[in-house]
Structure 1
Protein backbone atom coordinates (compact mmCIF):
# COMPACT_ATOMS: atom_id res chain seq x y z
CA UNK A 1 0.00 0.00 0.00
CA UNK A 2 1.41 3.39 -1.04
CA UNK A 3 2.26 6.02 1.54
CA UNK A 4 -0.45 8.68 1.85
CA UNK A 5 0.40 12.23 2.96
CA UNK A 6 -1.50 13.62 5.93
CA UNK A 7 -4.31 16.01 5.13
CA UNK A 8 -4.23 19.50 6.69
CA UNK A 9 -7.66 20.87 7.31
CA UNK A 10 -8.48 24.60 6.79
CA UNK A 11 -9.59 24.99 10.38
CA UNK A 12 -6.04 24.38 11.54
CA UNK A 13 -6.73 20.93 12.96
CA UNK A 14 -4.55 17.98 12.30
CA UNK A 15 -5.75 14.47 12.90
CA UNK A 16 -2.24 13.44 13.96
CA UNK A 17 -1.15 16.32 16.17
CA UNK A 18 -4.64 17.06 17.44
CA UNK A 19 -6.85 20.08 16.90
CA UNK A 20 -5.24 23.53 17.19
CA UNK A 21 -6.97 26.37 19.02
CA UNK A 22 -8.12 29.12 16.67
CA UNK A 23 -7.46 32.78 17.64
CA UNK A 24 -10.20 35.29 17.25
CA UNK A 25 -9.77 38.46 15.15
CA UNK A 26 -8.31 41.49 16.85
CA UNK A 27 -9.21 45.12 16.26
CA UNK A 28 -6.42 47.10 14.60
CA UNK A 29 -4.36 49.44 16.79
CA UNK A 30 -5.67 47.90 19.98
CA UNK A 31 -3.48 46.44 22.65
CA UNK A 32 -4.46 43.11 24.10
CA UNK A 33 -6.45 43.20 27.31
CA UNK A 34 -4.53 42.37 30.49
CA UNK A 35 -5.10 39.14 32.21
CA UNK A 36 -5.80 40.78 35.56
CA UNK A 37 -9.29 42.38 35.49
CA UNK A 38 -8.47 44.67 38.45
CA UNK A 39 -6.00 46.76 36.43
CA UNK A 40 -7.75 49.69 34.69
CA UNK A 41 -7.62 49.54 30.95
CA UNK A 42 -7.92 52.39 28.48
CA UNK A 43 -8.31 51.72 24.79
CA UNK A 44 -7.58 54.17 22.02
CA UNK A 45 -9.58 52.88 19.10
CA UNK A 46 -9.21 54.69 15.81
CA UNK A 47 -12.44 55.54 14.06
CA UNK A 48 -14.72 55.33 17.10
CA UNK A 49 -16.53 58.46 18.24
CA UNK A 50 -15.61 60.01 21.60
CA UNK A 51 -13.05 58.84 24.09
CA UNK A 52 -13.54 56.56 27.06
CA UNK A 53 -13.98 58.30 30.42
CA UNK A 54 -10.98 58.26 32.72
CA UNK A 55 -11.00 55.71 35.50
CA UNK A 56 -12.33 56.77 38.86
CA UNK A 57 -8.93 56.33 40.49
CA UNK A 58 -7.26 58.94 38.25
CA UNK A 59 -7.11 62.32 40.09
CA UNK A 60 -8.27 65.43 38.24
CA UNK A 61 -6.15 68.58 38.42
CA UNK A 62 -7.71 71.83 37.15
CA UNK A 63 -5.63 73.92 34.75
CA UNK A 64 -3.72 76.79 36.41
CA UNK A 65 -4.96 80.33 35.85
CA UNK A 66 -2.50 83.17 35.37
CA UNK A 67 -2.73 86.71 36.64
CA UNK A 68 -4.30 88.05 39.78
CA UNK A 69 -2.25 87.75 42.93
CA UNK A 70 0.85 86.14 41.40
CA UNK A 71 0.14 82.68 42.96
CA UNK A 72 -1.50 81.23 39.86
CA UNK A 73 -4.98 82.13 41.12
CA UNK A 74 -6.76 85.09 39.57
CA UNK A 75 -9.50 86.24 37.29
CA UNK A 76 -7.41 87.09 34.22
CA UNK A 77 -5.12 89.69 32.72
CA UNK A 78 -7.17 92.63 34.04
CA UNK A 79 -5.16 92.63 37.28
CA UNK A 80 -1.79 92.68 35.52
CA UNK A 81 0.36 95.81 35.67
CA UNK A 82 1.08 97.73 32.46
CA UNK A 83 4.19 96.71 30.59
CA UNK A 84 5.98 100.03 31.19
CA UNK A 85 5.44 99.80 34.94
CA UNK A 86 6.77 96.25 34.97
CA UNK A 87 9.92 97.58 33.30
CA UNK A 88 10.26 100.25 35.97
CA UNK A 89 8.93 103.15 33.85
CA UNK A 90 6.18 105.00 35.71
CA UNK A 91 4.57 107.27 33.15
CA UNK A 92 2.36 109.03 35.71
CA UNK A 93 5.34 109.91 37.85
CA UNK A 94 7.25 111.22 34.84
CA UNK A 95 4.27 113.38 33.85
CA UNK A 96 3.93 114.84 37.36
CA UNK A 97 7.62 115.67 37.53
CA UNK A 98 7.47 117.29 34.11
CA UNK A 99 4.52 119.46 35.12
CA UNK A 100 6.34 120.57 38.27
CA UNK A 101 9.27 121.88 36.20
CA UNK A 102 7.01 124.29 34.29
CA UNK A 103 6.55 126.45 37.38
CA UNK A 104 10.03 127.68 38.40
CA UNK A 105 8.70 129.67 41.37
CA UNK A 106 6.87 126.80 43.06
CA UNK A 107 8.54 123.47 42.43
CA UNK A 108 7.21 120.42 44.26
CA UNK A 109 10.38 118.79 45.54
CA UNK A 110 8.49 115.85 47.06
CA UNK A 111 7.88 114.45 43.58
CA UNK A 112 11.63 114.24 42.93
CA UNK A 113 12.58 112.35 46.06
CA UNK A 114 12.64 109.08 44.13
CA UNK A 115 15.05 109.56 41.26
CA UNK A 116 14.59 107.87 37.90
CA UNK A 117 16.37 108.02 34.57
CA UNK A 118 13.44 107.36 32.24
CA UNK A 119 12.30 110.97 32.10
CA UNK A 120 15.82 112.47 31.80
CA UNK A 121 16.67 110.07 28.99
CA UNK A 122 13.49 111.08 27.17
CA UNK A 123 14.33 114.79 27.49
CA UNK A 124 17.93 114.29 26.38
CA UNK A 125 16.82 112.36 23.32
CA UNK A 126 14.31 115.09 22.50
CA UNK A 127 17.05 117.69 22.87
CA UNK A 128 19.29 115.74 20.51
CA UNK A 129 16.42 115.24 18.05
CA UNK A 130 15.77 118.98 17.78
CA UNK A 131 19.47 119.50 17.25
CA UNK A 132 19.41 116.89 14.52
CA UNK A 133 16.58 118.75 12.77
CA UNK A 134 18.79 121.84 12.72
CA UNK A 135 21.62 119.87 11.08
CA UNK A 136 23.69 119.08 14.21
CA UNK A 137 24.46 115.57 15.42
CA UNK A 138 25.06 115.93 19.16
CA UNK A 139 23.68 112.74 20.69
CA UNK A 140 27.05 111.48 21.93
CA UNK A 141 28.09 114.94 23.13
CA UNK A 142 24.84 115.40 25.07
CA UNK A 143 25.07 112.06 26.88
CA UNK A 144 28.75 112.58 27.64
CA UNK A 145 28.29 116.12 28.93
CA UNK A 146 25.38 115.11 31.16
CA UNK A 147 27.47 112.36 32.77
CA UNK A 148 30.42 114.68 33.38
CA UNK A 149 28.11 117.45 34.63
CA UNK A 150 26.44 115.09 37.12
CA UNK A 151 29.85 114.01 38.43
CA UNK A 152 30.94 117.65 38.70
CA UNK A 153 27.82 118.73 40.60
CA UNK A 154 28.00 115.65 42.83
CA UNK A 155 31.61 116.37 43.82
CA UNK A 156 31.03 120.11 44.33
CA UNK A 157 27.93 119.67 46.48
CA UNK A 158 29.43 116.97 48.69
CA UNK A 159 32.60 119.00 49.17
CA UNK A 160 30.50 121.97 50.30
CA UNK A 161 28.28 119.87 52.57
CA UNK A 162 31.16 117.88 54.05
CA UNK A 163 30.26 114.81 56.04
CA UNK A 164 26.61 115.80 56.18
CA UNK A 165 26.19 115.60 52.40
CA UNK A 166 23.55 113.08 51.37
CA UNK A 167 23.30 113.74 47.62
CA UNK A 168 23.93 110.57 45.65
CA UNK A 169 24.99 110.42 42.03
CA UNK A 170 21.78 108.75 40.82
CA UNK A 171 19.54 111.51 42.19
CA UNK A 172 21.91 114.18 40.91
CA UNK A 173 21.71 112.75 37.39
CA UNK A 174 17.92 112.54 37.65
CA UNK A 175 17.58 116.19 38.71
CA UNK A 176 19.91 117.43 36.00
CA UNK A 177 17.97 115.51 33.36
CA UNK A 178 14.56 116.75 34.42
CA UNK A 179 15.79 120.34 34.60
CA UNK A 180 16.87 120.04 30.95
CA UNK A 181 13.23 120.53 29.95
CA UNK A 182 13.53 124.35 29.46
CA UNK A 183 16.53 123.82 27.21
CA UNK A 184 14.56 121.27 25.19
CA UNK A 185 11.93 123.97 24.62
CA UNK A 186 14.67 126.42 23.69
CA UNK A 187 16.08 123.92 21.21
CA UNK A 188 12.64 123.60 19.60
CA UNK A 189 12.24 127.40 19.33
CA UNK A 190 15.70 127.78 17.82
CA UNK A 191 14.52 125.94 14.69
CA UNK A 192 12.46 129.01 13.75
CA UNK A 193 14.96 131.70 14.79
CA UNK A 194 17.92 133.08 12.80
CA UNK A 195 21.35 132.06 14.04
CA UNK A 196 23.58 134.64 15.65
CA UNK A 197 20.82 137.17 16.38
CA UNK A 198 20.38 139.13 19.57
CA UNK A 199 16.98 137.63 20.20
CA UNK A 200 18.28 134.06 20.35
CA UNK A 201 20.92 135.10 22.93
CA UNK A 202 18.27 136.75 25.10
CA UNK A 203 15.96 133.76 24.77
CA UNK A 204 18.83 131.42 25.63
CA UNK A 205 19.65 133.42 28.78
CA UNK A 206 16.01 133.18 29.87
CA UNK A 207 15.86 129.39 29.50
CA UNK A 208 19.26 128.96 31.18
CA UNK A 209 18.08 130.92 34.21
CA UNK A 210 14.88 128.88 34.25
CA UNK A 211 16.76 125.56 34.34
CA UNK A 212 19.26 126.88 36.87
CA UNK A 213 16.55 128.18 39.19
CA UNK A 214 14.63 124.89 39.22
CA UNK A 215 17.71 122.69 39.63
CA UNK A 216 19.09 124.82 42.48
CA UNK A 217 15.80 124.79 44.34
CA UNK A 218 15.46 121.02 44.04
CA UNK A 219 19.02 120.41 45.22
CA UNK A 220 18.62 122.72 48.19
CA UNK A 221 15.33 121.21 49.33
CA UNK A 222 16.18 117.54 48.78
CA UNK A 223 19.74 117.54 50.12
CA UNK A 224 20.78 118.61 53.58
CA UNK A 225 23.08 121.58 54.18
CA UNK A 226 22.19 123.00 50.78
CA UNK A 227 20.59 126.23 51.94
CA UNK A 228 23.89 127.49 53.29
CA UNK A 229 25.60 127.22 49.89
CA UNK A 230 22.73 128.24 47.64
CA UNK A 231 24.81 130.81 45.74
CA UNK A 232 27.61 128.36 44.91
CA UNK A 233 25.14 125.68 43.83
CA UNK A 234 23.36 128.23 41.63
CA UNK A 235 26.69 129.16 40.01
CA UNK A 236 27.59 125.51 39.30
CA UNK A 237 24.18 124.78 37.77
CA UNK A 238 24.35 127.96 35.68
CA UNK A 239 27.67 126.86 34.19
CA UNK A 240 26.26 123.45 33.29
CA UNK A 241 23.13 124.69 31.53
CA UNK A 242 24.98 127.55 29.84
CA UNK A 243 27.24 124.94 28.30
CA UNK A 244 24.24 123.10 26.84
CA UNK A 245 22.75 126.34 25.53
CA UNK A 246 25.89 126.93 23.48
CA UNK A 247 25.09 123.77 21.51
CA UNK A 248 21.80 125.36 20.48
CA UNK A 249 23.12 128.85 19.72
CA UNK A 250 26.22 127.80 17.79
Structure 2
Protein backbone atom coordinates (compact mmCIF):
# COMPACT_ATOMS: atom_id res chain seq x y z
CA UNK A 1 0.00 0.00 0.00
CA UNK A 2 1.65 3.29 -1.11
CA UNK A 3 2.14 6.27 1.23
CA UNK A 4 1.28 9.77 0.21
CA UNK A 5 3.41 12.74 1.26
CA UNK A 6 2.06 16.23 1.37
CA UNK A 7 4.73 18.31 -0.49
CA UNK A 8 4.01 21.99 -1.07
CA UNK A 9 4.10 23.00 -4.71
CA UNK A 10 7.16 24.91 -6.05
CA UNK A 11 6.24 28.18 -7.67
CA UNK A 12 8.68 29.69 -10.25
CA UNK A 13 8.41 33.38 -10.89
CA UNK A 14 7.37 34.17 -14.42
CA UNK A 15 6.69 37.84 -14.32
CA UNK A 16 9.27 40.55 -14.87
CA UNK A 17 8.14 42.34 -11.71
CA UNK A 18 9.30 39.49 -9.54
CA UNK A 19 12.67 39.43 -11.33
CA UNK A 20 13.16 43.11 -10.74
CA UNK A 21 12.41 42.69 -7.08
CA UNK A 22 14.94 39.94 -6.60
CA UNK A 23 17.91 41.40 -8.49
CA UNK A 24 21.15 40.61 -6.61
CA UNK A 25 23.13 43.51 -5.29
CA UNK A 26 26.54 44.24 -6.80
CA UNK A 27 29.60 43.40 -4.72
CA UNK A 28 31.00 46.12 -2.47
CA UNK A 29 27.83 48.10 -2.83
CA UNK A 30 26.88 49.97 0.34
CA UNK A 31 23.43 49.11 1.65
CA UNK A 32 20.74 51.70 1.57
CA UNK A 33 19.51 53.39 4.68
CA UNK A 34 16.47 51.20 4.90
CA UNK A 35 18.46 47.97 5.11
CA UNK A 36 19.99 47.27 8.52
CA UNK A 37 23.49 45.83 8.68
CA UNK A 38 27.10 46.39 9.58
CA UNK A 39 28.82 49.69 8.79
CA UNK A 40 30.47 49.59 5.35
CA UNK A 41 34.03 50.62 4.58
CA UNK A 42 34.30 52.52 1.35
CA UNK A 43 36.80 51.29 -1.21
CA UNK A 44 36.61 54.29 -3.45
CA UNK A 45 40.14 55.40 -4.34
CA UNK A 46 39.24 59.00 -5.03
CA UNK A 47 37.37 59.45 -1.81
CA UNK A 48 40.13 57.72 0.16
CA UNK A 49 42.79 59.96 -1.38
CA UNK A 50 40.73 63.03 -0.62
CA UNK A 51 39.97 62.04 2.95
CA UNK A 52 43.53 60.89 3.85
CA UNK A 53 45.95 63.59 5.00
CA UNK A 54 49.65 62.83 4.76
CA UNK A 55 52.02 64.28 7.31
CA UNK A 56 55.04 66.08 5.85
CA UNK A 57 58.43 64.34 5.86
CA UNK A 58 60.43 64.93 9.04
CA UNK A 59 63.14 67.51 8.73
CA UNK A 60 66.31 66.83 10.70
CA UNK A 61 68.17 69.76 12.17
CA UNK A 62 71.63 70.58 10.91
CA UNK A 63 73.09 70.39 14.40
CA UNK A 64 73.82 67.43 16.62
CA UNK A 65 72.65 67.44 20.17
CA UNK A 66 75.49 66.43 22.45
CA UNK A 67 75.33 64.42 25.62
CA UNK A 68 75.25 67.48 27.80
CA UNK A 69 72.24 68.85 25.93
CA UNK A 70 74.04 71.51 23.88
CA UNK A 71 73.83 71.63 20.10
CA UNK A 72 77.14 71.35 18.25
CA UNK A 73 77.62 71.38 14.48
CA UNK A 74 79.80 69.08 12.42
CA UNK A 75 82.38 71.82 11.98
CA UNK A 76 82.85 71.95 15.77
CA UNK A 77 83.72 68.24 16.00
CA UNK A 78 87.39 67.44 16.74
CA UNK A 79 89.46 65.75 14.00
CA UNK A 80 89.49 61.96 13.81
CA UNK A 81 93.20 61.68 14.68
CA UNK A 82 92.63 63.79 17.78
CA UNK A 83 89.73 61.57 18.86
CA UNK A 84 92.03 58.54 18.52
CA UNK A 85 94.62 60.23 20.72
CA UNK A 86 97.03 60.99 17.86
CA UNK A 87 98.34 64.54 18.00
CA UNK A 88 100.51 65.05 14.92
CA UNK A 89 101.68 68.49 16.00
CA UNK A 90 102.86 67.18 19.35
CA UNK A 91 104.64 64.24 17.69
CA UNK A 92 106.42 66.66 15.35
CA UNK A 93 107.55 68.84 18.25
CA UNK A 94 108.79 65.82 20.20
CA UNK A 95 110.76 64.66 17.17
CA UNK A 96 112.44 68.05 16.84
CA UNK A 97 113.32 68.05 20.54
CA UNK A 98 115.04 64.67 20.21
CA UNK A 99 117.02 65.85 17.17
CA UNK A 100 118.68 68.55 19.28
CA UNK A 101 120.50 66.79 22.15
CA UNK A 102 121.73 70.06 23.67
CA UNK A 103 118.34 71.76 24.01
CA UNK A 104 115.87 69.09 25.08
CA UNK A 105 112.33 70.27 25.79
CA UNK A 106 111.27 67.78 28.41
CA UNK A 107 107.85 69.40 28.98
CA UNK A 108 106.76 68.12 25.55
CA UNK A 109 107.18 64.53 26.74
CA UNK A 110 105.01 64.85 29.83
CA UNK A 111 102.06 63.50 27.83
CA UNK A 112 103.24 60.07 26.73
CA UNK A 113 102.00 58.51 23.51
CA UNK A 114 102.85 55.41 21.49
CA UNK A 115 102.06 56.49 17.93
CA UNK A 116 105.35 58.35 17.45
CA UNK A 117 107.50 55.50 18.84
CA UNK A 118 105.58 53.03 16.68
CA UNK A 119 106.42 55.07 13.56
CA UNK A 120 110.11 55.17 14.49
CA UNK A 121 110.23 51.44 15.18
CA UNK A 122 108.54 50.63 11.87
CA UNK A 123 110.99 52.93 10.07
CA UNK A 124 113.89 51.17 11.80
CA UNK A 125 112.53 47.80 10.73
CA UNK A 126 112.05 49.06 7.16
CA UNK A 127 115.66 50.26 6.88
CA UNK A 128 116.82 46.91 8.25
CA UNK A 129 114.65 45.19 5.66
CA UNK A 130 116.34 47.22 2.92
CA UNK A 131 119.65 45.94 4.27
CA UNK A 132 118.41 42.36 3.91
CA UNK A 133 117.50 41.79 7.59
CA UNK A 134 114.02 40.98 8.83
CA UNK A 135 113.97 42.28 12.40
CA UNK A 136 110.39 43.52 12.97
CA UNK A 137 109.58 40.96 15.64
CA UNK A 138 112.97 41.36 17.31
CA UNK A 139 112.62 45.15 17.44
CA UNK A 140 109.16 45.08 19.01
CA UNK A 141 110.20 42.43 21.51
CA UNK A 142 113.39 44.21 22.51
CA UNK A 143 111.57 47.54 22.96
CA UNK A 144 109.08 45.91 25.30
CA UNK A 145 111.80 44.22 27.34
CA UNK A 146 113.89 47.42 27.40
CA UNK A 147 110.95 49.42 28.74
CA UNK A 148 110.40 46.88 31.51
CA UNK A 149 114.14 46.92 32.27
CA UNK A 150 114.27 50.73 32.60
CA UNK A 151 111.07 50.72 34.66
CA UNK A 152 112.41 48.15 37.13
CA UNK A 153 115.85 49.78 37.41
CA UNK A 154 114.51 53.26 38.06
CA UNK A 155 111.88 52.20 40.58
CA UNK A 156 114.44 50.13 42.46
CA UNK A 157 116.70 53.20 42.65
CA UNK A 158 113.96 55.69 43.52
CA UNK A 159 112.04 53.44 45.90
CA UNK A 160 108.56 54.52 46.91
CA UNK A 161 109.08 58.06 45.63
CA UNK A 162 109.50 56.88 42.03
CA UNK A 163 106.73 58.04 39.70
CA UNK A 164 107.91 56.70 36.34
CA UNK A 165 105.32 54.32 34.92
CA UNK A 166 105.80 51.65 32.26
CA UNK A 167 103.78 53.54 29.63
CA UNK A 168 106.04 56.59 29.87
CA UNK A 169 109.14 54.38 29.74
CA UNK A 170 107.94 52.87 26.47
CA UNK A 171 107.21 56.32 25.04
CA UNK A 172 110.62 57.75 26.01
CA UNK A 173 112.62 54.79 24.71
CA UNK A 174 110.65 54.86 21.44
CA UNK A 175 111.22 58.55 20.80
CA UNK A 176 114.92 58.29 21.68
CA UNK A 177 115.24 55.55 19.06
CA UNK A 178 115.29 58.27 16.39
CA UNK A 179 119.14 58.52 16.27
CA UNK A 180 119.36 54.74 15.84
CA UNK A 181 116.84 54.98 12.99
CA UNK A 182 119.03 57.62 11.32
CA UNK A 183 122.05 55.37 11.84
CA UNK A 184 120.29 52.46 10.13
CA UNK A 185 119.48 54.70 7.15
CA UNK A 186 123.09 55.94 6.84
CA UNK A 187 124.52 52.43 7.18
CA UNK A 188 122.81 51.43 3.94
CA UNK A 189 125.40 53.50 2.04
CA UNK A 190 128.44 52.45 4.06
CA UNK A 191 130.44 49.19 4.03
CA UNK A 192 129.53 46.75 6.76
CA UNK A 193 132.06 46.13 9.52
CA UNK A 194 134.28 49.09 8.75
CA UNK A 195 135.89 51.49 11.22
CA UNK A 196 133.71 54.36 10.04
CA UNK A 197 130.54 52.45 10.90
CA UNK A 198 131.87 51.65 14.36
CA UNK A 199 132.72 55.28 15.12
CA UNK A 200 129.39 56.49 13.75
CA UNK A 201 127.53 53.88 15.78
CA UNK A 202 129.22 55.00 18.99
CA UNK A 203 128.28 58.64 18.31
CA UNK A 204 124.63 57.83 17.67
CA UNK A 205 124.40 55.56 20.72
CA UNK A 206 125.77 58.36 22.93
CA UNK A 207 123.24 60.71 21.31
CA UNK A 208 120.30 58.44 22.18
CA UNK A 209 121.67 57.78 25.67
CA UNK A 210 122.04 61.47 26.46
CA UNK A 211 118.52 62.35 25.30
CA UNK A 212 116.84 59.45 27.10
CA UNK A 213 118.76 60.04 30.32
CA UNK A 214 117.90 63.73 30.33
CA UNK A 215 114.21 63.06 29.76
CA UNK A 216 114.00 60.41 32.49
CA UNK A 217 115.80 62.65 34.99
CA UNK A 218 113.64 65.68 34.20
CA UNK A 219 110.28 63.90 34.12
CA UNK A 220 110.72 61.55 37.09
CA UNK A 221 111.27 62.52 40.69
CA UNK A 222 114.49 61.49 42.47
CA UNK A 223 116.19 60.95 39.11
CA UNK A 224 118.92 63.55 39.41
CA UNK A 225 120.76 61.71 42.17
CA UNK A 226 120.81 58.49 40.13
CA UNK A 227 121.77 60.03 36.80
CA UNK A 228 124.83 57.81 36.28
CA UNK A 229 122.99 54.53 36.77
CA UNK A 230 120.11 55.67 34.55
CA UNK A 231 122.58 56.66 31.82
CA UNK A 232 124.26 53.24 32.07
CA UNK A 233 120.92 51.46 31.66
CA UNK A 234 120.02 53.62 28.64
CA UNK A 235 123.46 53.01 27.12
CA UNK A 236 122.95 49.24 27.33
CA UNK A 237 119.52 49.53 25.69
CA UNK A 238 120.66 51.53 22.66
CA UNK A 239 123.89 49.60 22.28
CA UNK A 240 121.75 46.49 21.98
CA UNK A 241 119.75 48.03 19.11
CA UNK A 242 122.90 49.28 17.40
CA UNK A 243 124.18 45.70 17.17
CA UNK A 244 121.32 45.01 14.76
CA UNK A 245 122.70 47.72 12.49
CA UNK A 246 126.35 46.66 12.69
CA UNK A 247 125.86 42.94 12.27
Bin for the TM-score computed over the shorter chain: 0.7 to 0.9
Q: Which runs of 5+ in 2 are unaligned?
A: 1-9, 31-39
Query: Who is 1:86 aligned against?
Result: 83
1:88 CA drift (Å): 1.8
Pairing 1:126–2:123 present:
yes
* CA–CA separation in structure 2 for the residues paired with 1:130 and 1:14: 108
- Structure 1 residues 150 and 32, CA gap change in structure 2 (3 angstroms): same
Pairing 1:207–2:192 present:
no
* CA–CA separation in structure 1 for the residues paired with 2:15 and 2:201: 116
1:93 CA drift (Å): 1.4
1:63 CA drift (Å): 2.0
Post-superposition CA distance 1:180-236 (Å, at most 9, x none):
011111111111111011111111111111110000000000000000010111111
Post-superposition CA distance 1:98-123 (Å, at most 9, x none):
11111111111111111111111111
Say which structure is richer in helix.
2
Q: Which runs of 5+ in 1 are unaligned?
A: 35-41, 46-50
SS at match of 1:239: helix
State the TM-score, normalizing by the size of structure 1.
0.79
* CA–CA separation in structure 2 for the residues paired with 1:7 and 1:184: 115
SS at match of 1:92: helix
Backbone CA RMSD of aligned residues: 3.2
Pairing 1:197–2:206 present:
no
* Larger Rg belongs to: 2
Query: Who is 2:36 aligned against?
Result: none
State the TM-score, normalizing by the size of structure 2.
0.79
Q: 1:1-250 alignment to 2 at 5 Å? A: 5-6=12-13, 14-15=18-19, 18=22, 32-33=41-42, 43=48, 53-54=53-54, 62-65=59-62, 67=64, 69=66, 73-75=71-73, 77-250=74-247
- Structure 1 residues 14 and 191, CA gap change in structure 2 (3 angstroms): farther
Question: Which structure has more RCO (C-alpha within 8 Å, separation ≥ 6)?
Answer: 2
* CA–CA separation in structure 2 for the residues paired with 1:102 and 1:155: 27
Contact 1:14–1:20 (CA under 8 A) maintained in structure 2: no
